[in-house]
Structure 1
Amino acid sequence: MGHAVHTRDLGRFSSYRAATVQSLAQALVRHERINTTLARAKEAQRLAERLVTLAKKGGLADRRRAVALLQDKQGVGRLFSQIAPRFASRAGGYTRILHNGIRSGDGASMAVLEWTELSPDLDKKAEPVRRDRKKGVSTLAIRPPSAAPEAEKPKVQPPASRKKKPESAQNRPKEPKKGGFLKGLRRFFGGDQRRGA
């Protein structure tokens, strides 16, 4: 019976569990979107929300507390300077979990954990574009014309002629090979003269 169980153990003992959650939070601060299992995402979400709350307060004690929780000074600097200002008007709900199907190997529920206010460059990448198969036209989102089209690369042509073997090698008669099932045994017992030369 699961009475009074308030934590997800993630199949680890406590110090490994804390390290896993800390590592996921570091990855979220660094990449702003991570793909993990649903249980891990829910645990990492708790820590990420606490970190943003500390960063929004912005004091020295809050910064030191964030360094103690995250164990990454550069990540805390990014959290305080870039991530927390995005959430200045938001009272909570800094992250979201999107369900991402089932992992084929073990059937684990997968999820994407990301900030609700993504950085502008990540937000542009997130635009899904669906194409109508018959017309070849995007039906969901049309990319802005300001995006520069990719420069066409000149096609590299394969060499027209391959190197030919010298004629003496082509006209030379081939020696019949002594083959078959007993080839190795013949050499072993001394039937082939190539062995000890």
Structure 2
Amino acid sequence: MRHGKKFNHLSRKKGHRVALMKNMSNALVKHKRINTTLAKAKALRVFLEPLITKAKKNTTHSRRTVFGYLQDKSSIEELFGPIAEKVAARPGGYLRIIKTGFRKGDAAETALIEFVDYNDVYSNEGKQGSSGRRRRRRGGGNKNAAAVKGKNEEE
């Protein structure tokens, strides 16, 4: 039974799991994207997104709180500096997980986890001529084709 199992334990004891999340968080902050298994990426997102939210408010208390989790001064400087500036206007959802297939050795499902604001491929900043809003086609389509179709059915 899974009474009280609120998160994925990743088949590790608490100390190992905390060390894993700390190391993966530091690597993600340093490199902006990492490849890992899908389960670890989902667990990392749950672990790191609240810390990024705390980093948006640059106070001594929030710095000490985040340092308690990451324990790496260079990661803290990066998180409270450039990363916090880029995500300042974003209300959440700082990380993106992209499935990348299955690992050859053990067929584990792999994924790429990255900061949303650091990928130029998906951002609108790289596109030229973009008005900033998305255009979607509604069901209306071509009205002339519908009129011709109606005339053909009458004949």
Identify the TM-score tier after normalising by the shorter chain.
0.7 to 0.9
Question: Partner residue of 1:150?
Answer: none
1:42-64 alpha-carbon deviations (Å, 9 max, x no partner)? 11111221121111011110011
Number of the residue aligned with 1:145:
none
The one of the two structures with greater contact order (alpha-carbon pairs below 8 A, sep at least 6) is 2
The code of the aligned residue for 1:22 comes to K
**Deviation digits for residues 59-96 of structure 1 (CA, Å, limit 9, x no counterpart):** 11001111111111111001111101101111000001
Determine if the alignment matches structure 1 residue 88 to structure 2 residue 88: yes
Q: Does 1:114 align with 2:122?
A: no
> What is the CA distance between 1:111 and its match in structure 2?
0.5
Distance 1:65 1:91 in 2: 20
Name structure 1 gaps, 5 residues minimum: 128-197
Q: Secondary structure, in 3 states, of the residue corresponding to 2:11?
A: coil
- Residue 67 of structure 2 is matched in structure 1 by 67
Structure of larger gyration radius: 1
Q: How does 1:23-62 map to 2 (within 5 A)?
A: 23-62=23-62
Query: What secondary structure is seen at the aligned counterpart in 2 of 1:110?
Result: strand
Kindly report the root-mean-square deviation, in angstroms, between the aligned alpha carbons of the 2 structures.
1.4
Question: Which portions of structure 1, spanning 4 or more consecutive aligned residues, are displaced by more than 3 angstroms?
Answer: none
More helix by share: 2
**Number of aligned pairs?**
122
- 2:4 maps to 1:10: no
TM-score of the superposed pair, with normalisation by structure 2: 0.74
The amino acid that maps onto 1:19 is A
What is the aligned-residue identity percentage? Answer: 41
**AA at the equivalent of 2:59:** G
Q: Please, which runs of 5 or more residues in structure 2 have no aligned partner? A: 123-155
Single out whichever of 74-83 and 2-11 deviates more from structure 2: 2-11
Q: Distance in 2 between matches of 1:52 and 1:108?
A: 28
User: 1:6 is aligned with what amino acid?
Assistant: K
